[in-house]
Structure 1
Amino acid sequence: MPTKTKKEKPSFAKASKGEEDKNEQRIRIRLKAFDSRIIDKSAKQIIETLEKLDVKAIGPVPLPTEISKFTVNRSTFVHKDSREQFEMRIHKRLIEIPNPSSKTIDALQNLSLPAGVDIEIKM
Structure 2
Amino acid sequence: MKIRLKLYSYSAPLLQASLDRMAQIASQSAQVSKVCLPTQRKIFCVLRSPHVNKDSREHFEVRMHRRLLQLNNASTATIDALMKVDLPYGVEVEIQTKQA
TM-score (norm 1): 0.76
Structure 2 unaligned segments of length 5 or more: list them: none
- Describe the SS at the equivalent of 2:31: coil
Give the number of equivalent residue pairs.
Answer: 97
Q: CA deviation at 1:40?
A: 0.3
The partner residue of 1:57 within 11, 19, 32 is: 32
Moved over 3 A (4+): none
Number of the residue aligned with 2:22: 46
Q: 1:77 & 1:120 partners in 2: Cα distance?
A: 44
Determine which structure has greater relative contact order: mean sequence separation of CA pairs < 8 Å that are 6+ residues apart, divided by chain length: 2
Give the greater-gyration-radius structure (CA).
Answer: 1
Q: 1:27 & 1:90 partners in 2: Cα distance?
A: 22
Q: CA deviation at 1:120?
A: 0.5
TM-score (norm 2): 0.92
Q: Does 1:32 align with 2:8?
A: yes
Q: 1:65 & 1:58 partners in 2: Cα distance?
A: 19
Higher strand share: 2
Structure 1 unaligned segments of length 5 or more: list them: 1-24
